Amino acid sequence: MTEIEQLESLDKLKTKVLKYIMYKKRTEKEVRRKFSEEDQDLLEDVIENLKEIGYINDKNYVERAIAEFMNLNNLSVKELSYKLQSKGIDAKALEEYIDYHADELEEYEINSAKNIILKKQNSLEEQALIQYLLKKGYRIDLVKEAIEMLNQ
């Protein structure tokens, strides 16, 4: 392959990857998975270039994704973590984020548990509700705190 052909191939692949990540923000692993059939050397160059200019940034992805999940869903922190790990986010980076934002995430989990309890309190007994929340990954101390807050 001549140098010009290689540059054209690189440019085409970069355009395809950019379209993919501009449609919806993606993690590095999602990009790798989507373009696994492409020339891996070219893909590596494209990914490195896009990381350098900030189009692929897993730390920013974690921040935006967690903020979005917190606004839209009632999830436990464990569920948030599983969702992000399935997107290819590094477990260590995720753990650092969770540790750094522990108070905020704890408050979110309590409010999330309260919302679920309010929705399901007519159809489930308290023990069944607690078991349901524990299965979804909620911490027992936060579930009890949510119940206490609702019973006041």
- Domain edge (last residue) among 36, 56, 76: 56
Q: Locate 3 and state its tokens.
A: 């140098």
Q: Locate 23 and state its tokens.
A: 């449609």
User: Do 23 and 80 fall into the same domain?
Assistant: no
Q: Provide the 10 A C-beta neighbour count for residue 127.
A: 8
The pLDDT tens digits of the residues spanning 27-69 come to 999 999 999 999 899 999 999 999 999 999 988 888 888 999 8
pLDDT the model gives residue 9: 87
User: Do 67 and 137 fall into the same domain?
Assistant: yes
Average pLDDT over residues 59-83: 90
User: Do 12 and 52 fall into the same domain?
Assistant: yes
User: Do 52 and 69 fall into the same domain?
Assistant: no
pLDDT the model gives residue 128: 92
130: Cα separation from own chain's centroid: 25
User: Do 95 and 41 fall into the same domain?
Assistant: no
Domain count, the chain: 2
The DSSP string of 7-34 is HHHHHHHHHHHHHHHHHS---HHHHHHH
Which residue range(s) make up the domain with 19? 3-56
- Domain edge (last residue) among 56, 71, 96: 56
- Residue 97: φ, ψ to 5°: -60, -45
User: Do 64 and 116 fall into the same domain?
Assistant: yes
User: Do 51 and 80 fall into the same domain?
Assistant: no
User: Do 84 and 133 fall into the same domain?
Assistant: yes
The pLDDT tens digits of the residues spanning 89-133 come to 988 888 889 999 999 999 999 999 999 999 988 888 889 999 999
- Domain edge (last residue) among 40, 56, 72: 56
- 47 with 66: CB under 8 angstroms? no
